Amino acid sequence: MLTIAYIANGKSTNRYHLPFSTKLADKIKVKTIYSRTDKHLWEKLEGVNYTTNMDDIFMDPEIQLVVVATPSHLHYHYGKLILEHGKNVLVEKPFTETSAEAKELFAIAKEKGLLIQCYQNRRFDSDFLTVQKVIESGVLGEILEVEMHYDYFRPEVPESVTSYSQVNSYLYGHGCHTIDQVLSYFGDPDDIHYDVRQLLGKGRMNDYFDLDFYYGTMKVSVKSSYFRLKERPSFVVYGKKGCFVKQTKDRQEEHLKMFYMPDHEDFGLDLPEHYGVLTYIDEAGKYHEEKVTSEVGDYSRVYEGLYESIINGKDKLVKDEETIRQLEILEAGSQYITE
């Protein structure tokens, strides 16, 4: 068994972690959850020790992995503290505020023979997995362009923020999802073009970004905005022989927000109306237009990977260099912001 603990007992821990770590009850034991106060807004899990004393984690020899699910600006502090106490660490994204901090944490972990990894659960979104399936089928031919959109209509969010913070910017908070998808599947690009904006003016929250990653003749675009009343497709893939359009996002988050949990067989599953549309010309010149059954997304695969790495010594799911490169990209994009 892999015995784990959590630092922080808020939305991140309860919505995006516990439903997936507790799903693997044959491999993972959640033993302790730390929070600064003993006020609990979320229902307590039976058999879990809730504490306001961090030593209940650090001094417990059974706990092998500690998950940092605090606000972003505390990730580096707690990541380093946990490593210094001899525990493996999983850190929510964005991993740290700077690539320099990330390099320091990876160096400490290596020196101590420990694992520290970023929680890149969006690698296991159903839409992203489905796009990979379509690309690898070869029916689109050579891929020319990929568009990835992560849109909201939440103008009240940037309108409520009157000062700029890099770690709390839209680029850091949401680019950390899609940029990791790009790096994990397509690798490090030849070049990047940045369009990072503050639509409400200088000194305000970053609320829009459009990044173009170039791989030879192929371009992969990551686009997000808080001001999209109607969302753009989650993914659009253009090849020399056709295109694939996936209109809707992975549904795991949608279900989690409704407290419809992974213990339901249809958790996170797309219905036929959510399936993407594949349009292409085959080798005989025949036109095809068909729906593609979505792959199954499953964030618990991150915890499966951690179990294999810590217990069985397998390679980490998220490579150190991928996390460092992502932060370098986030830092570079932030240079276009006016404080």
- What is the tens place of the pLDDT at every residue in 85-98? 999 999 999 999 99
- Distance, in Å, from the CA atom of 57 to the CA atom of 103, rounded to the nearest integer, reads 25
Helices (H), 199-263: 252-257
Listed in sequence order, the residues at least 6 apart from 252 whose beta carbon sits closer than 8 Å to its beta carbon are: 125, 126, 267, 268, 297, 298, 299
Report yes or no on 330 lying in a domain.
Answer: no
AA identity, residue 282: D
User: Strand pairing partners for 245?
Assistant: 236, 277
What confidence category does residue 172 fall into, taking pLDDT thresholds of 50, 70 and 90?
Answer: very high
Domain final residue pick, 58, 87, 119: 119
Question: What average pLDDT does range 100-104 have in this prediction?
Answer: 98
Instruction: Clarify whether residues 137 and 259 are in a common domain.
Output: yes
* CA distance readout (Å), 62 to 89, 254, 308: 14, 34, 17
- Residue 306 domain flag: no
State whether 111 and 56 are in the same domain: yes
Q: Is the pLDDT of residue 46 over 90?
A: yes
Q: Taking the CB of residue 160, how many other CB atoms lie within 10 A of it?
A: 9
pTM for this prediction? 0.95
Domain that holds residue 226: 122-297
Indicate whether 210 and 141 sit together in one domain.
yes
- 126 & 15 share domain: no
Question: Residue 228 maps to which CATH number?
Answer: 3.30.360.10
Q: Is 21 within the bounds of a domain?
A: yes
Position 325 in a domain: no
Regarding whether 140 and 111 lie in a shared domain, the answer is: no
* Number of domains the chain is built from: 2
Query: Domain check: are 86 and 133 in the same one?
Result: no
Q: Are strands 235-239 and 218-225 parallel, antiparallel or unpaired?
A: unpaired
Structure tokens at 66: 């500690």
Six token digits for residue 159: 């309108």
CB of 295 within 8 A of CB of 250?
Answer: no
Q: Are 103 and 35 part of one and the same domain?
A: yes
pLDDT at site 337: 86
Of the residues 102, 119, 136, the one at which a domain ends: 119
Long-range contacts of 285-292 (CB under 8 A, 24+ apart): 288/139, 288/242, 292/130, 292/133, 292/134, 292/244
Give the distance, in angstroms, between the CA of residue 281 and the centroid of all CA atoms in the same chain: 34
Q: Higher model confidence: residue 336 or residue 56? A: 56
Q: Are residues 162 and 191 in the same domain?
A: yes
User: What is d(CA 240, CA 280) in angstroms, rounded to the nearest whole number?
Assistant: 9
Contact 323, 296 (CB under 8 A): no
The CATH number of the domain holding residue 113 is: 3.40.50.720
Distance CA(160)–CA(226), nearest Å, equals: 12
Give per-residue pLDDT as tens, 290-307. 999 999 999 999 999 999
| Confidence at residue 338, expressed as pLDDT on a 0 to 100 scale | 79
Specify the amino acid at residue 106.
F
Mean pLDDT lowest for which of 26-35, 71-80, 165-174, 209-218? 165-174
266 lies in the same domain as 133: yes
**The dihedral of CA 71, 72, 74, 80: what is its sign?**
positive
Q: Of the candidates 103, 119, 135, which is a domain's last residue? A: 119
Q: Report whether 196 contacts 239 (CB < 8 A).
A: no
pLDDT tens column, 184-194:
999 999 999 99
Residue 307 in domain: no
Confidence band, pLDDT 50/70/90 cuts, at residue 238: very high
Residues 198 and 232 in one domain: yes
Chain mean pLDDT for the chain? 96
